[in-house]
């Protein structure tokens, strides 16, 4: 009898990463078409609407870029932690606490000049995200507590904190009794650079490019790559794994928190418990599709932003917006499968029969 196994290819398929993403996209579109057909929804009209509302015009493309910013930064945060073999599942909460810290800065410096206020809010957001990741980082570095559990649990804490603030000390006195936080200061709005795209698009690109350069060119980045590849080699080279684990998780949280600051100063009117909008969890998918490489998160984030923006628009056709979420999952499954097959190939081998 024969059984099917995965056997490593002698030579990996060229262009494995982009090919895997493209294969995942094609797989998602095909399976999405099957799903739409089963549900009785128009396939061509649905995809046409998603394209028009995400890439069709300069205006819709600019909206896609805005949506890609927090996705890219969240994906970068996850990929930073992954360089050490760590999983930051708390980017969602770090985004929320970063936005909370930025709101605090905005309340303190509401009368500051606009450029100073915006920079201060973004710095505050990064510090807030770093602080939110500090606890899990210390727990992992000092006593080996799983960062997956601690970062995930803090997501709910961040939500409850914002709910407390909007119903308590930060409640808008002019909100007609509705539980909402006072709107951000007028001078805290990022400027528009193209159509609806705000300055955060360029800032996010600079952060991603800067980190990619830092990892590849700095001593700290070199040590980080060694520590992520082999703890024994790092110890032999005198690299402190405790410091690297703590530093990576704090840096990952800072980037996620910065995303919260960009979202608050960019498209959001005020802080609320939905400001992260699932970007932290979607960032895990973005990082996975980019093979945990910071260089790939920007491009993947644009496509994911397009799926999310387009998915919101198909409701006018009577199609459930959940289709967009399903497409994201299908893209992930398809791309991961294609990535595996770019390194491994299916093969049949004889099954050994044990006789007694």
pLDDT digit string (tens) for 61-72? 999 999 999 999
Residue 44 has pLDDT above 70, yes or no: yes
pLDDT (0 to 100) of residue 172: 92
What proportion of the chain, given as a percentage, has pLDDT over 90?
A: 57
Q: Of the candidates 267, 257, 287, which has an alpha carbon nearest to the alpha carbon of residue 154?
A: 257
The reply to whether 296 falls in a domain is yes
pLDDT (0 to 100) of residue 232: 83
Determine the average pLDDT of the residues in 210-218: 85
- Higher-confidence residue of 1 and 176: namely 176
**pLDDT tier, 351 (very low <50, low <70, confident <90, very high otherwise):** low
Q: Of the candidates 333, 262, 270, which has an alpha carbon nearest to the alpha carbon of residue 77?
A: 262
pLDDT (0 to 100) of residue 330: 83
The reply to whether 330 falls in a domain is no
Residue 356 has pLDDT above 60, yes or no: no
- Higher-confidence residue of 296 and 21: namely 296
- Higher-confidence residue of 266 and 344: namely 266
Supply the pTM of this predicted model: 0.90
The reply to whether 261 falls in a domain is yes
The reply to whether 347 falls in a domain is no
The reply to whether 236 falls in a domain is yes
pLDDT (0 to 100) of residue 353: 59
pLDDT (0 to 100) of residue 268: 92
Residue 265 has pLDDT above 60, yes or no: yes
The reply to whether 2 falls in a domain is no
**pLDDT tier, 291 (very low <50, low <70, confident <90, very high otherwise):** confident
For residue 308, the number of C-alpha atoms closer than 13 Å in the C-beta half-sphere is 21
pLDDT (0 to 100) of residue 24: 79
The whole-chain average pLDDT of the chain stands at 89
- Higher-confidence residue of 182 and 349: namely 182
**pLDDT tier, 279 (very low <50, low <70, confident <90, very high otherwise):** very high
Beta bridge partners of 113: none
336 burial type by CB count under 10 A (0-12 exposed, 13-18 middle, 19+ buried):
middle
Residue 212 has pLDDT above 70, yes or no: yes
Q: Which of 44-58, 196-210, 333-347 shows the lowest mean pLDDT across its residues? A: 333-347
Please check whether residue 258 is in contact with residue 98, taking contact to mean a CB–CB distance below 8 angstroms.
yes
The reply to whether 346 falls in a domain is no
**pLDDT tier, 340 (very low <50, low <70, confident <90, very high otherwise):** confident
User: In total, how many domains does the chain have?
Assistant: 1
Q: Give the per-residue SS3 of the chain.
A: CEEEEEEECCCCCCCHHHHHHHHHHHHHHHHHHHHHHHHCCCHHHHHHHHHHCCCCCHHHHHHHHHHHHHHHHHHHHHHHHHCCCCCCCCHHHHHHHHHHHHHHHHHHCCCCCHHHHHHHHHHHHHHHHHHHHHHHHHHHHHHCCCHHHHHHHHHHHHHHHHHHHHHCCCECCCCCCCCCECCCCHHHCCCEEECCEECHHHHHHHHHHHHHHHHHHCHHHHHHHHHHHCHHHHHHCCCCHHHHHHHHHHHHHHHHHHHHHHHHHHCCCCCCCCCCCCHHHHHHHHHHHCCCCHHHHHHHHHHHHHHHHHHHHHHHHCCCCHHHHHHHHHHHHHHHHHHHHHHEEEEEEECCCCCC
pLDDT (0 to 100) of residue 228: 82
**Domain that includes residue 102, residue range:** 42-318
- Higher-confidence residue of 87 and 295: namely 87
Q: What CATH number is attached to the domain comprising 94? A: 1.10.3470
The reply to whether 208 falls in a domain is yes
- Higher-confidence residue of 106 and 317: namely 106
Residue 207 has pLDDT above 90, yes or no: yes
- Higher-confidence residue of 293 and 134: namely 134
pLDDT (0 to 100) of residue 295: 76
């Amino acid at each position: 009898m024969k059984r099917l196994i995965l056997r490593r290819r002698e030579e990996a398929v060229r262009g494995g990463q982009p090919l895997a993403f493209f294969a995942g996209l094609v797989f998602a579109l095909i399976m999405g078409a099957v799903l739409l057909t089963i549900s009785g929804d128009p396939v061509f009209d649905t995809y046409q609407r998603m394209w028009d509302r995400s890439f069709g015009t300069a205006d819709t493309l600019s909206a896609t870029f805005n949506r890609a910013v927090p996705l890219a930064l969240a994906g970068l945060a996850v990929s930073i932690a992954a360089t050490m073999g760590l999983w930051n599942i708390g980017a969602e909460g770090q985004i929320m606490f970063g936005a909370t810290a930025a709101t605090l800065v905005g309340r303190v410096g509401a009368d500051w000049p606009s450029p100073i206020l915006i920079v201060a809010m973004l710095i505050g957001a990064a510090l807030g995200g770093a602080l939110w990741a500090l606890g899990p980082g210390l727990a992992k570095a000092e006593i080996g507590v799983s960062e997956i559990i601690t970062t995930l649990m803090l997501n709910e804490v961040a939500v409850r904190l914002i709910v407390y603030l909007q119903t308590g000390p930060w409640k808008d006195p002019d909100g007609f009794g509705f539980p909402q936080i006072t709107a951000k200061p007028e001078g805290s709005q990022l400027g528009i650079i193209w159509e609806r795209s705000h300055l955060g698009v360029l800032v996010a690109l600079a952060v991603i490019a800067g980190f990619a350069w830092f990892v590849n060119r700095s001593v700290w980045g070199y040590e980080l790559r060694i520590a992520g590849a082999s703890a024994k080699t790092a110890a032999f080279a005198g690299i402190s794994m405790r410091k690297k684990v703590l530093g990576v998780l704090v840096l990952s949280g800072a980037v996620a928190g910065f995303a919260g600051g960009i979202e608050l100063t960019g498209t959001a009117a005020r802080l609320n418990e939905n400001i992260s909008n699932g970007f932290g969890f979607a960032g895990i998918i973005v990082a996975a599709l980019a093979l945990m490489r910071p260089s790939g998160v920007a491009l993947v984030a644009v496509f994911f932003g397009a799926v999310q923006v387009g998915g919101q628009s198909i409701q006018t056709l009577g199609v459930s917006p959940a289709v967009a979420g399903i497409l994201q999952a299908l893209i992930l499954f398809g791309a991961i499968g294609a990535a595996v097959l770019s390194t491994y190939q299916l093969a049949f081998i004889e099954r050994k029969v044990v006789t007694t």
